[in-house]
Amino acid sequence: MKWAIIIQIQKQVAQLLDLSEMEVAETVSFYTYFPRQGVGKYQIQVCTNVSCMLSGAEQLLQYLEEKLKIKVGETTPDSIFTLSAVECLGSCGTAPVMQINQTYYENLTKAKVDQIIEELRKGKEL
């Protein structure tokens, strides 16, 4: 999405909700579910906060980078996957965790990641 369009939308939201433009901009920049650039069909968000980090999230994130051939913050050339590292997803007891669009995947392993990515590539709907 073009930056000027984002700014214009934020201004309109601020007017509509009687907020300052700064309040809207702060909110949009804080939450990962308000992407400020184009994302793929599946937005993969890997939690890298403490519980997940201690359960191997960094290794899973690196594994996903290698598997998808993209870095964190990037989208695959076919626009299917966007990879992000995010703060706590609120499911610390089932770490490591990732969220793809609105679906949570918990107690992740490399084998589970392989299965999930394969199913999504085959067109599984979330």
Q: Binding residues for ligand FES, per CB under 6 A? A: 47, 49-52, 88-92, 95, 97
Tell me the β-bridge partners of 86: 47
**Least separation in angstroms between CB 75 and ligand FES:** 23
CB contact at 8 A, 126 and 104: no
**Least separation in angstroms between CB 54 and ligand FES:** 9
Q: Which is nearer to ligand FES, 51 or 76 (CB)?
A: 51
Query: Could you say which DSSP state residue 90 is in?
Result: S
CA atoms of 36 and 60, how far apart (whole Å) = 25
**Least separation in angstroms between CB 126 and ligand FES:** 19
**Least separation in angstroms between CB 88 and ligand FES:** 4
CA Rg, the chain, in Å?
16
Q: Which is nearer to ligand FES, 80 or 92 (CB)?
A: 92
**Which among 84, 83, 89 is positioned nearest to 49, based on CA atoms?**
89
112 by Cβ neighbours in 10 Å (0-12 / 13-18 / 19+) ranks as: middle
Q: Which is nearer to ligand FES, 25 or 92 (CB)?
A: 92
Q: Which is nearer to ligand FES, 93 or 123 (CB)?
A: 93
